[in-house]
Structures are given as structure tokens and as C-alpha cells.
Chains A and B, each alone.
Chain A
Amino acid sequence: MSVTVAHSLDDALASLAASPTATVLAGGTDLMVELNMGHRRTDAVICVNRVRELRSWRHDPAAGTLHIGAALTYAELMHEPLAGFAPALAQAARTVGSPQIRNAATIGGNIGTASPAGDGLPVLAALDAVVHLASSGGRRDVPFAEFATGPKRTVMQPGELITGVTIPVLEGFQGYSKVGVRNAMVIATASACLAIDVPGRSVRLALGSVGPVILRAPGAEAIVVAAVDFEAGTIPADAVVEFGAAAGAAARPIDDHRSTAEYRRRAIEVLAKRLLSRAFQVDPGRTASTSGANS
């Protein structure tokens, strides 16, 4: 097994070209767990978390986009100025693991691992992020929705590296919610990101941990678009309830040792309603489930 520490993108791509099946290492929060437990054997490791091109970010005001380098950490995403451009991503970042994990875990790593429970991923899905890939043979961009093909499976080819991700800087509410049994270091049993693009009149809802990949809920989104008054920033309470039900219906959860499909679906319904209520300041008492709440 060999280990190469790359400091420039060219170095990284050249190393990858020489060993296309090499494992790319950034923060180590996924790979090292597997190595420590003997669950993964690899011939070569290429360490990219100090590649300068991957550690940069760029806000383009004209295009209204934010490009985030793949090796930026969740700790960095939690703080200004990045947090200001992507508040839901900052919220998601705060739920990632622990301070130690946030200091090491990278957004590129999260994307590349493609776990349906990845904390930042519903945000990227809701924002219709674009994932940037590079190899010694060239570059390509993949819309986030097409990037993951199944749990921990992606469209990446041998020799390819994630260089970063571009998201729109939207004007409007953005919120991320994550359900976990304890308050730190917890894998999401269900998560959701709601992003409103007021000028663009679009509503985006992405769901995590309830499918083989991050899901969007177009049916639910359409309910909001039809019912919301973007000018006034209001929405009728019954549309919120309908939205929640549609979000729940869009989920494709499974039973596992962390939770049940039934619970996850209900959690999505509740998260969706609450996010929307928060977005449009709807009184929660008017949208609570009849079972469960003790009013």
C-alpha cells in the first residue's frame, strides 16, 4: 500500500492517473473507519485534503453562485462568510458528528461517499448543486440529482476526483432539519432541506435517510408553489398539512436497526410541515398531527 500526499490538483490527478483504482482520502472520517476495522483494503491512497485548489471557494455575484472546494471542511461551512451564502448548509454542518469530525470531514468526501444519510447532501439536492469532477483526461460536471445511483454508489469513474460543488445563492428561506436519537454524533434517521427561491418562484424539498439516494419531493413542492403567495410570504395552513403528507408519501424508507420505515415516513411528514411553517411563519398549532401532540 502506498500513500501520496498531493498539494496541487495536477499532482493529485497525475497520481490518480498512475493508479486509477487508488482511494482518495480527504478528511478520513469515512475511509479511516473502514481501514481501522479491516473492512477495506486498498493498494494506494492519495491524500487530497491539502490540495490548494480544493481548499478554495468563490462567490460569483453576477451568476449568483457559490463554488465550494471539495476539501473545505464542515467546520468551515459552519462559519461566516460561507454560512451566509449557504445557511442551510451551515445548519447541516452543525449537525455533522462532533467538533473533531467537523474539523476533518469535507464536503467532497460527503459527496463522494454518497451515503443517503450524509448530512450536507439534502441541502445540495435542494439547491440543485452541480458536482465538479476532474481526471487527467479532463473535467465534467454532474448535476447532484444524477450523481448518486444508489447507497454509496456514484457515477464516478476510476481516475476521477471531486474538485468541488457549485450551488446557487438563493434569496429566500433555507432550512435543514435532522432527526437523531441523541444531540451529537448521530446518524440521521430522517432529514430534510427546504429551500425557497423567491425571485425564481421555486420551492425545493430534499429528503435524506429515506431512500437509496437523497430524494426530491416534486409533488410536495408543487403543492407549495400552487398555494403560496410569494409576494406576501404566506401560505394557508391546510396547504402545509398537505405538503407534509406529500413529503411523507415521497419518502421510500426502510426498516433497519436505527429506525422503522413507518417512523421515518412520519418524521419526514413532520419535518416538512415544520420547515414550511417556519418558512412562512405559519402557526404550528394549526398544522400539528392529531395523534402525538398533547394539547
Chain B
Amino acid sequence: MSTTTPVDVSVASSVDTSVLAGRLGDSAVRPDGVAKVQGSFAFSGDLSADGFLWGATLRSPHPSARIVSIDLSAAWRIDGVEAIVTAADVPGKATYGLISQDQPVFASDFVRYVGEPVAAVAANHPETCRRALEAIVVAYEVLAPLTDPELAVDGSFPPIHPDGNVIRHQRIVRGDTAVIGDVVVEAVYEIGMQDQAFLGLEAALAIPDPGGEGIELFVATQWLHEDRHQIAACLAMADDKVRITLGGVGGAFGAREDISLQVHTCLLALRTGRPVRIAYSREESFLGHVHRHPARIWMRHHATADGKIVKIEARFVMDGGAYASTSSAVLINAVTHTQGPYACDNAVVDGWAVRTNNLPCGAMRGFGVVQACFAHEGQMDRLAAACGLDPVEIRLRNAMQTGDRLITGQVIENVAPVARCIRETAALPLPDEPVGGHDGDPMRLPGGAGLTADRSHIRRGIGWGVAIKNLMYSEGFDDYSTARCILRDGVASLKFATSEVGQGFVTIAAQIARSVLGVDDVVLEPIDTTIGSAGSTSASRQTWMSGGAVDGACRLVREQLFAHVGAQHGIEPLRLAIDGRDVIDTMGELRVSVAQATAGMSFEETFEHHHRPTEDLDENGQGNCHTAFAFVAHRAVVDVDPELGLVKVVQIATAQDVGRALNPLSVIGQIEGGIAQGVGLAVMEEIIQVDGRVRNANFTDYLLPTFLDMPDVVVSLIEEPDPMAPLGAKGVGEPPCISSTPAVVAAIRDAIGKDLTRTPVRPSDIVF
């Protein structure tokens, strides 16, 4: 088995509902698992309706151009074309966006990135759509694109958008800015553009109401209500006229937080009066959603001679691409995590998120902290070398604890077991196999089946990364979640709009209900906008927020149940409790099954879970802007062929601060999956743009780790339940992809004895 963990994640080979399995703490199997393995689970791209038409989108071939004219006439002459829409056909707001609505539904005067939507067609077959798109003639006046983010920072490039080229600037100043350390180390770190590359390509089905007063949309997305709000504004409809049902989601990782095809699909449906399906190709998907911000980060760490951080200076430039998306929030996340999980009293940080004609960037798992962590972990190793300490010792000496402050002044109130994360990771066994395995199989070397090396060509290295990551939304945003519980005849029904993207919320939602209410049978109602918002599936927030909402609704239902049972039996409800599948009197003899107690009854509650309020940052970046934090450590072992620059990641060991593993198997899944993405960013994943043009918008050249690239993962789950979390559990989705990347790169540095300041690391970076 490739993963070892002190937590027993084994599951009985069949799900035995006669035992109390499936409660909190169990590795319950997911309720949609059988449908998914049989191929009967409906993803948004599997949905269809009678009489539907296919839709497709015309996209800009230029990173920057003025639209001179659009001629649709040749496209209209193609047999089978039923509708063509452009900016002129948007009845409501012409633009949309998560923070500022700066992004056009269709470009009308200027196109600002390669792939920007210009028009859409509806036709009887995808091939007809393709031909119609080819027949649309758009005359462009090509302009010189802004592709260097520094030119946006220094203001030397004319604005490429009415909102200007700087999306946000934030400064952080704290403590004694003049202090100089005995030891000073600095470097500039570069992080390339990573793509979320979820497998379930964008797809939507829009069904217009007769008369076009409203519309029904089935789409894979991360935040139904935010989508609805933006779509309704563009369609000039009230929010409640746009009814969204979640279509099965094939992964998200941030790329579905912005809308992409939603308004286009609706427009075509309303225009034709028929259902319309749009499904993106992989190339279109790369162009059609936001990406991780490429970043250039200078950091200078000052420390005492024995390695204690005294001051950090930093400058962040994050390339937000053509439209603002969530760049503003990504920047804040990045700069406020400058110090990493280490104590630091003094800091000067300047950060910019800027607009360029490169691909728009926004949310991707880690949300700015991936970039900051790559830099701060590179710095910690630099400090270690300068102070004559090893990478573990330097980190332990500076490790944050509960009660320490961020450089924003915010006190870390959460459980903060940073030192424990590091120590437990260090205690996990190193791979016992030498380079090439015990049998020296060349297939196990870097290069694999390419047979590029013998064992003697390979160097092994070890590297470390440790991270802090904020959970939930920040800067005063109230990202609450809503859930409804109905308990009836021994069956609990849960309703929520929480987007299930694969992370397993549907699994723990049922576990929560079973634990609180003592039932086995839990039914999950469709995920749609007929209930209040659950907020976004992002920011590692759903276990905390939607779990909190489900928990809250179930607890309120339980109170009703106890009130009812108490009244029936003349017992004070406060004496009642759930024991197994029964309601019992903790101070008496009564025991009645929940099924019996709820026979013919229906108890219902809807609950909104809010986290405590957060603050804005002031002009010095001071303020309690984050909600909560989680911590993690990674140790990577890599084998490197220094002459060819090929890398094989052999093992990643990690100890993660999870609070409480509500479903250990799901937690392991999130950890292994996040580490895979971290490995990808370390050695192979990068969108390559030259002059604003993407060179690798396909899976041939945007490389995801395969089975043969993924290392063994050994995990230690650190469970110190957080009293601030409704279930004691912290979010686990993002930390695994944050410090795994710098750990791998540090391991490569260790193997080759060379400095590397860029990720992903390319073979030529190692060789030359």
C-alpha cells in the first residue's frame, strides 16, 4: 500500500448498515460512489433535454485588439444554425465579475486576452457550430499587448481597461521597519501559471421558460447563488427567475468560481426558445476559465545569528491577466501570508495585483498562499544555510504558536501545531528503497520507460515545506452557509446548495445527520437555488461552514424531537440524548427508537451558519482580516538526474493539522490529491504564454502527473480539535498543495547543490 497512516482508514468490504457505520469519524463511503463507478452519475455534460440545440463560443485570437466589425452573414447561411448572439444581444448588465463586474459577457469594443468570448452560436450539431464559428468574420485592429506585469506596476503602459491596470495594491507595515538582522538573505522567486485542469469539462444545459420570463440552468459550478446573481443581472431578470440546479461536477479547484459559459448558454436558450447545451473542449477550457496567478516575489529575511526571524521585507507582483476576477482577494491572501507559519514582529511588504493582456487569473486551490509559500520556504532554507542550521531546525526555531501574530497584527487564535506538524513529518519513515528500488529497475529512475539513466547517474535529495493557510473568506466577507433538515419517519432529509465537486461534502453531511439524530437513512435533496446560499466550495470552507449549517439544522431538529418525546413521556427534554439509534432518558429508563419517535411526525429546521466577522486591512495592512487558519508540513524525497534534469518524486511525507478527521478516508483523499497538484506545480505544470498567446492549451503539452509520476505519500493526521470550528474540524483541501511544491523544489536543490528560484522546475533549470 502506498500510504501509511496512524489512522486506520480501512473500510469493510461491504457497507453494513446494521452497524452504526457512517457517523462522524467513520470512513463512510460516499453516497454517489456506486453511481459514479457505474457511469450512471450525471455530470453537467451528461444532461440533455428534448429538442435541444448545441451552443459554441467564438473567441478572440488576439491578446489585445479593437473590434472593428463583426459580420455574421456567412454564418447565418449555414444550414442548421438557429441563433447567433453577440454583446448587442445581452439584455441586462453587459459585464460580470466576482468582485468588480469588469468582464464583458461578450467583447464589444476591445478584446483583452486570447480566448475572450466575442459571440456564440446555437445549431443542430457540434460540427455545424464549428463551421458557423469559422464563418463569422470579425475584423480586428490588432494592438500591442501588455504582457509584462511590471509595466502595469510602474504605470508606463496605457490602461488596457477603463478600470486601469492596477487591480489592487496593498502595503503591510508592522513593527520596527528599520531593524537589520545579523543575517540577511534575499532572492526573487517566480511561480508560473498553473491550471486547475479539472477533468469534467465545462458544460451547461439551459432550459428557457415558455415566454422567456425565466430560465432553468443546470451547470457544474462552485457557488450557485453567486452565479445566479451575476447571470440574472446580465439577463435583466430578478434573481429568482434564474433557477440553478447543480449538474454533477467533475472537479473544480477554483476554476468554476467565476462564471464562464453560464450567461452564453442562457442567452442562446432564451433567443431560440429551446434548451441549449454548451460543452467546452479541453483547449477551450484552458482559455475559458481563470488560472493561478503567476507571480514574481522578492523577499528579504533578516534574522539573528541563531536563526530567529527579525524582519521580513517583500514585494509581490501577481499577474491577474485581463479581468479582475478575484485577484484582489488573492493578493491579500498572498501578502498576509508572507511570513509563513513563523513568528515575525517586523515587516514591510508591498503587493500588486495587476491587469495585463495575459489570461485572466483568479481562484485556484491555495489562492495566493501557494505563491507566498514557495517564496517563504525558499527563504527559510536560505536562512538555514546562512545560519549553519538544518532545514528542520530553522523552522522549529521560528514555528508559530497559538497566540502569535501575523504581520497584519491578527492574533492566531486557532490551534496552531506548527512544531508538531514538523516533528511528526520528520518522524515518518524515509523510503526504504534506494535509488532505482531494491532491484535497480531503470523504470523506477527519473526518465522511467525512457531508459535514460543508470542508478549511478542519479542523486537523491530531501526538502521541506511548511505552511499556514487561512480558511473561509476574509476582509469582512460574510460567507455564510444554509442547510435544511427534515426528520420524518426515521429518515433525515438534508437540503443545501453546497456544491459537491468531488471533495466529499455529500458524504460528511450524511455523517453529521446520522451522528446528531441517530438515524441511518439520510436522503440528500437536489442541490439547487431553492434554498439559501452555501457560499463557494473553495477556501477549504465547506466542512466548517456547510458542515456547521447541517450540524446546526440537525441540532435544532433534535431539539424539536426531544421536546416532542419529552412532552409525550413527561420528561424534561434536557435529560434526553441520542444513543445509537434511540432517544434515551439519561436519568431514567426511557428508550425509544428515533424511527418510532418520529413516526407520522415531521420536524424541520433551516439554519444559517455564519463565522465570526472579519475586518478590512488599513493602509498599513493591519487588521483582523482572516477567519481561521490551518497548518501543514511536507517533506519530499526526490531522485534527480543532474545531467538530463529529469526528476522523480519518490516520496512525500506530511503531517497536517486537520482538527478532527470527520471521515479519515476522505481526508486522505484530499491530502493525496492536493499533493499531486503540488507535485505538478513543482515539476511539470505550467501554462506557457508568449506575447499573450498560449502555447500549450491541451493535455499533450500541459502535463498532469500520471500514476507513474505520483510519489508514495505517507500521512500523519494531527487531530487537535479546534474549539472555533463547529465540528472541531478544520478544512483540509488546500494545505496539501501549498507546501508540497516548495518541499519538492527544495529536495531538487538538495540533490543538485544548486539554487532554484522558479517553479515549475524545468530540466534546463537543473542542467545549466
Check whether chain A touches chain B (CB < 8 angstroms). Answer: yes
Q: Which of B644, B688, B707, B767 has the most CB of A within 10 A?
A: B644
Q: Contact residue range for chain A?
A: 35 or more
In the bound complex, do residue A187 and residue B701 qualify as a contact, i.e. CB atoms below 8 Å apart? yes
Say yes or no for A136: interface residue by CB 8 A criterion.
no
Question: Smallest distance from the beta carbon of A248 to chain B beta carbons, Å?
Answer: 12
Q: Give the B interface residue count (CB, 8 A).
A: 44
Given A175-B451, A266-B767, A285-B456 in contact, is the A183-B708 Cβ separation under 8 Å?
yes
Question: Smallest distance from the beta carbon of A43 to chain B beta carbons, Å?
Answer: 15
Say yes or no for A232: interface residue by CB 8 A criterion.
no
The residues of A that contact B452 with a CB separation of less than 8 Å are 177-179, 270-271, 274
The residues of A that contact B162 with a CB separation of less than 8 Å are none
Say yes or no for A258: interface residue by CB 8 A criterion.
yes
Say yes or no for A185: interface residue by CB 8 A criterion.
yes
Encoded as 1 (CB less than 8 Å from any B CB) or 0, chain A from 106 to 122 comes to: 00000000000000000
Name which residue of chain B comes closest to A271, CB basis: B452
List B residues 427-458 near A (Cβ within 8 Å).
447-454, 456-457
Question: Smallest distance from the beta carbon of B708 to chain A beta carbons, Å?
Answer: 4
Task: State in angstroms the CA–CA spacing of A285 and B454 once bound together.
Answer: 11
Task: State in angstroms the CA–CA spacing of A262 and B707 once bound together.
Answer: 30
Name which residue of chain B comes closest to A88, CB basis: B451
Task: State in angstroms the CA–CA spacing of A270 and B768 once bound together.
Answer: 13
Name which residue of chain A comes closest to B642, CB basis: A292
Encoded as 1 (CB less than 8 Å from any B CB) or 0, chain A from 251 to 285 comes to: 00000011110110011001100100010000011
The residues of B that contact A188 with a CB separation of less than 8 Å are 450
In the bound complex, do residue B449 and residue A183 qualify as a contact, i.e. CB atoms below 8 Å apart? yes
Say yes or no for A288: interface residue by CB 8 A criterion.
yes
List B residues 734-768 near A (Cβ within 8 Å).
751-753, 762-764, 766-768
Name which residue of chain A comes closest to B704, CB basis: A182
In the bound complex, do residue A181 and residue B706 qualify as a contact, i.e. CB atoms below 8 Å apart? no
Choice from B281, B648, B703, B763 contacting A263 with Cβ under 8 Å: B763
In the bound complex, do residue B451 and residue A257 qualify as a contact, i.e. CB atoms below 8 Å apart? no
In the bound complex, do residue A94 and residue B454 qualify as a contact, i.e. CB atoms below 8 Å apart? no
The residues of B that contact A184 with a CB separation of less than 8 Å are 448-449, 706-709
In the bound complex, do residue A181 and residue B447 qualify as a contact, i.e. CB atoms below 8 Å apart? no
In the bound complex, do residue B454 and residue A294 qualify as a contact, i.e. CB atoms below 8 Å apart? no
Interface of B is mostly: loop
In the bound complex, do residue A263 and residue B643 qualify as a contact, i.e. CB atoms below 8 Å apart? no
Choice from A95, A182, A259, A266 contacting B703 with Cβ under 8 Å: A182
Choice from B457, B695, B767 contacting A288 with Cβ under 8 Å: B457
Task: State in angstroms the CA–CA spacing of A183 and B683 once bound together.
Answer: 12
Name which residue of chain A comes closest to B447, CB basis: A179
Given A289-B643, A292-B642 in contact, is the A178-B767 Cβ separation under 8 Å?
no
Q: Which of A175, A263, A285 has the most CB of B within 10 A?
A: A263
Name which residue of chain A comes closest to B708, CB basis: A183
Question: Smallest distance from the beta carbon of A105 to chain B beta carbons, Å?
Answer: 14
Choice from A183, A274, A289, A294 contacting B706 with Cβ under 8 Å: A183
In the bound complex, do residue B703 and residue A186 qualify as a contact, i.e. CB atoms below 8 Å apart? yes
Choice from A191, A263, A284 contacting B454 with Cβ under 8 Å: A284
In the bound complex, do residue B688 and residue A181 qualify as a contact, i.e. CB atoms below 8 Å apart? no
In the bound complex, do residue B459 and residue A294 qualify as a contact, i.e. CB atoms below 8 Å apart? yes
In the bound complex, do residue A294 and residue B457 qualify as a contact, i.e. CB atoms below 8 Å apart? no
Say yes or no for B109: interface residue by CB 8 A criterion.
no
The residues of B that contact A189 with a CB separation of less than 8 Å are 763
Q: A179-B450, A257-B696, A262-B768 are known contacts; what are 19 more A-B pairs with Cβ within 8 Å?
A: A95-B450, A177-B450, A178-B450, A181-B762, A181-B763, A182-B684, A184-B707, A185-B706, A189-B763, A258-B701, A263-B767, A274-B454, A284-B454, A284-B456, A284-B457, A285-B456, A292-B766, A293-B459, A293-B642
Seen from chain A, the residues whose Cβ lies within 8 Å of a Cβ on chain B are 37-38, 91, 94-95, 175-189, 191, 257-260, 262-263, 266-267, 270-271, 274, 278, 284-285, 288-289, 291-294
13 contacts between A and B (CB under 8 A): A178-B452, A181-B646, A181-B684, A182-B706, A184-B449, A186-B703, A187-B701, A263-B763, A271-B644, A291-B768, A292-B642, A294-B642, A294-B753
